[in-house]
Structure 1
Amino acid sequence: MAGGHPWTRRLYSAALLALAPLLWWRVWREHRAGRSRGERLGWIPASSDADRPLWLHCASVGEVQAAQPLIEALRKRYPQHRLVITTMTATGAERAVALAEAASDEAGGEVSHYFLPLDFPCAARRFVARLRPRLAIFFETELWPNLLASCARRGVPVAVVNGRLSARSFRTYRRLRRLMQEALSHVDWLGAKSRQDAERFAALGMAEDATSVTGSLKFDIALNDEAFKVSERLRTLLGGRPVWVAGSTHPGEDEALLTAHARVREIRP
């Protein structure tokens, strides 16, 4: 795909550079021991002609976990190619590294991890030039204009998988429609989680003939026999009792849950 409004990306890049001290402070916190902060500026080992990898970007630990079925499928279908996973957060890096270490003991392609560079023009160009990916896959709403433009400049096909846009994100992106239209012009294919997500991407400029509704990858996770055995044991132990499930809680939410639990016990001891 081609087109868009490159001048909006120049304004976006200028704004990023103006915010560089704040962004670098955030990056300084999101770090993993033993890793160079230079990765955030695109300084990674250069790939050779024979070692051009497949590249998958996931923002944080939740996205890495949700992308696990895709990671396993890529490893097994293309064992001859290295798979590079990039993340923004340190917790995402830990999960990606754990997957890479587990993959080393199993059949399939090699998996490695880098931190995603900040979306400064020079860092994005350097990262893509040194990584030299055969294919770039961005997970959910990770749409970085300069990285996408750098992929297009080097002829790297780009896919967005598990694409989703909440109503809130859509309202934000709609105010930046020209920038998003230019970014999406570099996406060769988008797999949206739902028809509504596909419509929101289309409203931002994504070509409808390059969009498919694929559903959520989270439902493609293959559970092993041990997971089923554990669930059966839990079901037996719990019997018919009601159960609270609190997933991905944040500070303050555990306390609210326990308070609600105490009130329910007054009614149903």
Structure 2
Amino acid sequence: MYTWFTEQTPVMQALLATLFTWGVTALGAAMVFFFKKINRKVLDGMLGFAAGVMIAASFWSLLNPAIEMAEETSSTPWIPAVVGFLAGGAFLWVADQLIPHLHLGFPREEAEGVPTTWRRSVLLVLAITLHNIPEGLAVGVAFGAVAADIPAASLAGAIALAIGIGIQNFPEGAAVSVPLRREGFSRRKSFMYGQASGIVEPIAGVIGAAAVIMMRPILPYALAFAAGAMIYVVVEELIPESQLEKNTDIATIGTMLGFAVMMTLDVALG
């Protein structure tokens, strides 16, 4: 299976990897067939875990390779990392202001983005979908970097990133579907909404891989961009939501464990 995967084009590898991450989101959403509610402490721990994975991935899989690549081509290697990182955060900030969405645990009246009459369920899905964009983009850019034949990028490292993103997608799928079930939706409809939040990842993954292959000079910027977008999601969404019910110790331990798991994956496989 691994040999077959290595024989695929980078864009196809990115597509397959992000289909995997989407599939794990669907597995998480499938928890609605077994549970009508999730213990809040467990959910907060899982959200913290997701945050830890994304923080570690942002540095080990994205920022560090971006800096190493820039050192090979630029006399000021910190510029691509800083510019790309801030641009990624700015992109998510703009999207956050424009796309209607509602963060987990908040009342309908506190929906963000352009005012709308859309239902709470749609807004919840959009919140998860919004932060799945940088995750898919990160995986796609990582596989595109391998195609650029740069020493700082490796296929094993890109696969490690996809595995890490997939692991943290599991609680995200459950975080959408189970609350919807509790609000009166059928199990099937709750599942469909939950897994739908991950559809954007294969799309963003293919775009990211194709873009960096066609425009190799932007690769350090693209890696840092994905890192900045993911850090924005962590600080603006995941960490606040994980501590909303004051389970701060559990959320913090989850974050530490998530960081450790992703760091181990990247260092061991990358």
TM-score when normalising by structure 1: 0.27
TM-score when normalising by structure 2: 0.27
Larger radius of gyration: 1
In terms of fraction of residues, the more helix-rich structure is 2
Taking CA–CA contacts closer than 8 Å with sequence separation of 6 or more, which of the two structures ends up with the larger relative contact order?
2
